[in-house]
Amino acid sequence: MATSAPSSVLAITQGDPAGIGPEIIVRAWQEAPDVLRDCFVAGDVGVMRRAAALMAGPQGMAWPVAQIDGPAEALAVPPRCIPVLQVGTPLVPPEHGRITAEAGRSAGAAVEWAARAALRQEIAAMVTAPLHKEALSAAGYGFPGHTELLQAEAAAFRGVGIEELPVRMMLANDELRTVLVSIHVSLREAIDRLSHVGVLQTLRITHASLSRMLGRVPRIAVAGLNPHAGEGGLFGREEIELIAPAVVDARAEGIEALGPFAPDTVFMRARRQPGQPAGEFDVVIAMYHDQGLIPVKYLGVETGVNVTLGLPFVRTSPDHGTAFDIAGRGIAKADSLIAAVRVARSLACS
């Protein structure tokens, strides 16, 4: 049986090797070494060494990359050195910005390794750099993103079906939190899938998770699906038949939920204004992916963090993608990744 690592050790998966993931990891170590103490990279040593050389610049010296054989070894790596655990067969670093099955396979393998290590309690938490969904699919993975892959790993570890381990995506920055009822599906499918059960399940997961994070009962706002939250049935009946009944049932369970509210104003009500301690609500339940992510990313994609709620371990990530258009140029910012590490460490210690 594997020896458990100290509870402070966090794994950062490198993301797609052709994207900005390796670059922002190196930049995070350069800009916030104290935040990344007791962290290591799960990925490919060669890819991380290429990123370190890229981030050094023409006149600088690249940060050394130290290959480790296990999580606990990260604690012995000297300062100003990036510990990397090689996952799988070493990869020839792919061309930046190019979708390949090899890159998708490397990224997916790193996520699988970290999830299993977290489930075995060999690491305290995992932080995932962005992967590319097309590359992941080309590699043969049947999951549209991190969230579904991690859900499947956790369910398999517990020996249950995926439906028995529901998870939700929460995006958060300093001003706003939002949790999504549906994640990576088309808008048509998100509407067709909307149900009383799904909304109530989202409310339960959000209530339980944020109660632990905040140390108190969270104030939850629920967005409607339709313009003006349906305007009493004039613009759709989902609010009347599905969403409002779920809110009523949640309140009967002691969940402090209100709504459904007009989606074009509820996010402003929940937003924490500069200089204010809090908004009217602690979190907004959004009915589909873009409804929730657009306002959070508009307010601050640089510091936004994605937290997967419902998993039996802590997982966070930056709230941006692989940015293939700027990969390899050394200009990507690491603020969101640094914030994700901070949040992961905070949650792992709570």
| Percent of residues, the chain, with pLDDT higher than 90 | 78
Q: Is the pLDDT of residue 286 over 50?
A: yes
Q: To which residue do tokens 């990279």 refer? A: 41
Please report the pLDDT score of residue 42 as a whole number.
98
Alpha-carbon distance of 30 to 28, in angstroms, equals 5
Dihedral pair phi/psi, residue 317, rounded to 5°: -160, 165
Where are the extended beta strands (E) located within the chain? 10-13, 39-43, 65-68, 82-86, 125-128, 168-172, 177-180, 220-223, 257-261, 283-286, 305-309, 314-318
Q: Is the pLDDT of residue 350 over 80?
A: no
| Range list for CATH 3.40.718.10 in the chain | 1-165+312-350, 166-310
Please report the pLDDT score of residue 213 as a whole number.
86
Position 4 confidence tier, pLDDT thresholds 50, 70, 90:
very low
Dihedral pair phi/psi, residue 179, rounded to 5°: -120, 140
The answer to whether 295 and 265 have CB atoms below 8 angstroms apart is no
Alpha-carbon distance of 83 to 68, in angstroms, equals 6
Please report the pLDDT score of residue 6 as a whole number.
45
- Decide yes or no: CATH 3.40.718.10 for domain 166-310: yes
Q: Tell me which CATH code domain 1-165+312-350 carries.
A: 3.40.718.10
Please report the pLDDT score of residue 274 as a whole number.
75
Please report the pLDDT score of residue 5 as a whole number.
44
Alpha-carbon distance of 73 to 227, in angstroms, equals 54
Please report the pLDDT score of residue 62 as a whole number.
83
- Torsion-angle region of 202 (φ positive above 0: left; ψ -120 to 50: alpha; else: beta): alpha
Question: For 53-86, what is each residue's pLDDT tens digit?
Answer: 999 866 677 889 999 999 999 999 998 899 999 9
What mean pLDDT do residues 156-176 have? 92
What mean pLDDT do residues 131-160 have? 93
Dihedral pair phi/psi, residue 5, rounded to 5°: -80, 160
| Nearest residue to 335 (alpha-carbon basis) of 300, 302, 311 | 302
What mean pLDDT do residues 231-257 have? 94
Q: Is the pLDDT of residue 2 over 60?
A: no
Q: Is 86 helix (H, G, I), strand (E, B) or coil?
A: strand
Side chain identity, residue 223:
A
Alpha-carbon distance of 32 to 12, in angstroms, equals 14
Question: For 294-325, what is each residue's pLDDT tens digit?
Answer: 998 888 766 789 999 999 999 999 988 899 99
Please report the pLDDT score of residue 301 as a whole number.
63
Q: Express the helix, strand and coil content of the chain in percent, nearest 5 each.
A: 45, 15, 40
What mean pLDDT do residues 136-153 have? 91
Please report the pLDDT score of residue 233 as a whole number.
86
What mean pLDDT do residues 84-90 have? 96
The answer to whether 206 and 309 have CB atoms below 8 angstroms apart is yes
Question: For 5-35, what is each residue's pLDDT tens digit?
Answer: 446 899 999 999 999 999 999 999 999 999 9
- Provide the token pair at 161: 């079906």
Please report the pLDDT score of residue 165 as a whole number.
93
By DSSP bridging, strand 314-318 and strand 125-128 are parallel
Please report the pLDDT score of residue 185 as a whole number.
86
What mean pLDDT do residues 162-188 have? 91
What mean pLDDT do residues 174-179 have? 91
Query: Hey, what's the torsion of the CAs at 169, 17, 139, 145, to 10 degrees?
Result: 10
Please report the pLDDT score of residue 58 as a whole number.
64
| Nearest residue to 202 (alpha-carbon basis) of 224, 170, 172, 162 | 170
Indicate the average pLDDT of the chain: 92
